[in-house]
Chain A
Amino acid sequence: MPKLIVVDRAGNQAAIEAREGLTVMEAIRDSGFDEMLALCGGCCSCATCHVFVDEHWAEAVGMPGGDENDLLDASDHRGPRSRLSCQIAMAAALDGLRVTIAPED
């Protein structure tokens, strides 16, 4: 199973198992990170599953889509590697992906 490395808002890092086919949001939420609000449940309607993708993973993960990009603009913490984690599907190619949960808006 691919590994996902998650850094929470306090800076604590944990490696979790992320089943292929699930989104990064689901993997984080299901691993007990209570900071992952993900209010709309992953249908790209809010911006409460915002993460920063590590620099060397940015290319593999890719850029946000149109709606996602607009939603990310709602965040005061948007950065160049911001993504909504509900829009990143876990795959073998992303084994070892490291993301940081963005501060709360």
Chain B
Amino acid sequence: MADRADVVIVGAGHGGAQCAIALRQNGFAGTITVIGREPDYPYERPPLSKDYFAREKSFDRLAIRPAAFWAEKAIAFKLGTEATGVDPEAHELMLSNGEIQGYGKLVWATGGDPRRLSCAGSDLAGVHAVRTREDCDRLRADIDAGANTIVVVGGGYIGLEAAAVLSKLGLKVTLLEALPHVLARVAGEPLSQFYQTEHRNHGVDLRTGVAVECLEGDGHKVTGVKLSDGEVLAAEAVIVGIGIIPAVGPLILAGAAGANGVEVDDCCRTSLPDIYAIGDCASFACDFAGGQVMRVESVQNANDMGTCVAKAICAAGSGEEPEPYKAVPWFWSNQYDLKLQTTGINLGFDQTVIRGNPEDRSFSVVYLKEGKVLALDCVNMVKDYVQGRKLVEAGARPDLAALADKDRPLKELL
């Protein structure tokens, strides 16, 4: 007979873990099972490209909760297996270990798989993603074995954070970005320019507007990266950080609406009965992006959606209306001694205002649309981040001259 739990959470990342924690916090008394593809209990992913990678923090310090916590809260885990099929009518999952897992409510929290290069050589040994502990440990093993010349493909946050750690370790790092500037998908040009300069000042050979033709190898291991202009960069290891593909295949096959991720409503419900989706894999009409249907890839989003669903499940149990998801988006990235904090979503901005001088390595970029504050990127400017968040929340339309004056606290502009 199939094993069954009242709530089954597929995915043991930040979102799945928080959903389970919040269910118990909100008094959910039913059975909870979490399905995790990796062998480990939920752990923090951001340090994988930062202090775990730099060996400043050991893996045990990354645990979101100790193993004993999950047992004490009667949250069961099936680790090292994943959901390969969903039968929404029977309320059952097919697992890769052959088991059938029944559910009352299903929470899909699978995140995404690192996008891989599609060119020749992308499956050579020594080509790494940075998404899981295993990815990170493999890369560290290459470095321990003497890899000294590293090419990072992709100038997003993962690629830049990896480049920062590697160059601090004294390795020879080249970073390749296909678009005209790094962070092109998420940041305005002033921030991109700033990070490009920082990385170059730290010795990273950072190149923009370059396309990878293929990876070269000795038949087993990667030896170089060939660019479209014919140049071959030597590489003893390659890190690929070119985004993720939301891991929603089984749900879409089962009939859930979605293309880029699985679509959810304002309470994280998919189009299938009793199935929710949260985190990186869920696309939703985001209030902070003018209602644009989008996915948000961040710890904050995974976590807050997890809480939202936990409350919705508890509310359904007592016949109450669920509360919609409306957390203010925020994000952080640490590179070198730079603390970047962002709040809001800058999608569709038509103007930027800079507070402070990037040359001082402490400044903020404020993104506006038709005079309304959409988002801020704050570099070593925690005060702006804290106060700017309130501007985003309020949809404030501050005076631009005052906004550009870094000595004018943002809270005065509400």
Contact = CB atoms under 8 A, between A and B. Distances in A.
Interface of A: 22, 26, 29-30, 32, 34-35, 37, 39-41, 43-47, 66-67, 70-71, 73-74
Contact of A39 (B68, B300, B383, B387): B300
Contact of A30 (B44, B66, B72, B73): B66
A26 B339 contact: no
A22 B21 CA distance: 23
A43 B63 CA distance: 15
Nearest to B71: A32
Contact of B65 (A29, A39, A47): A29
B303 A74 contact: no
A4 B334 CA distance: 30
B328 to A, nearest CB: 11
8 contacts: A29-B65, A30-B63, A30-B66, A34-B69, A70-B383, A70-B385, A71-B386, A74-B386
A30 B69 CA distance: 8
Given A32-B68, A34-B25, A70 B62 contact: no
Given A44-B339, A46-B332, 14 more contacts: A30-B63, A32-B65, A34-B24, A34-B73, A41-B46, A41-B62, A43-B46, A45-B332, A46-B330, A47-B386, A66-B382, A67-B382, A74-B386, A74-B389
A49 B61 CA distance: 15
A73 B382 CA distance: 10
B137 to A, nearest CB: 18
Contact of A45 (B25, B44, B339, B383): B339
Nearest to A29: B65
Give me the 8 closest cross-chain CB pairs, A-B, nearest first. A45-B332, A70-B382, A74-B386, A70-B383, A67-B382, A41-B44, A32-B69, A30-B66
Contact of B61 (A26, A32, A44): A26
A23 to B, nearest CB: 9
Contacts of A67: 339, 382
B11 interface: no
A39 B386 contact: no
B35 interface: no
Given A29-B65, A32-B65, A70-B382, A39 B339 contact: no
A43 B332 contact: yes
A32 B66 contact: yes
Contacts of B217: none
A34 B21 contact: yes
B46 A40 contact: yes
B386 A73 contact: yes
Contacts of B130: none
Contacts of A29: 65
B341 interface: yes
B246 interface: no
A35 B21 CA distance: 9
Nearest to A35: B25
B126 interface: no
Given A32-B68, A34-B24, A43 B386 contact: no
Interface in B25-65: 25, 44, 46-47, 50-51, 61-63, 65
B222 to A, nearest CB: 31
Interface string B330-352: 10101000010100000000000
A68 to B, nearest CB: 8
A73 B385 CA distance: 11
B68 A40 contact: no
A69 to B, nearest CB: 8
B299 A39 contact: yes
Nearest to A68: B382
B47 A41 contact: yes
Contacts of A40: 46, 299, 332
Contacts of B24: 34
B341 to A, nearest CB: 6
A51 B155 CA distance: 37
A73 B387 CA distance: 9
A74 B411 CA distance: 11
Interface string B12-31: 00000000010011000000
Interface in B263-300: 299-300
Determine which residue in A22, A44, A74 has the highest number of CB atoms from chain B within 10 A of its CB, and name it: A74
Interface string B361-385: 0000000000000000000001101
A35 B382 CA distance: 24
Determine which residue in B68, B332, B387 has the highest number of CB atoms from chain A within 10 A of its CB, and name it: B332
Determine which residue in A26, A29, A45 has the highest number of CB atoms from chain B within 10 A of its CB, and name it: A45
Contacts of B332: 40, 43, 45-46
Nearest to A73: B386
B323 to A, nearest CB: 14
Contacts of A35: 25
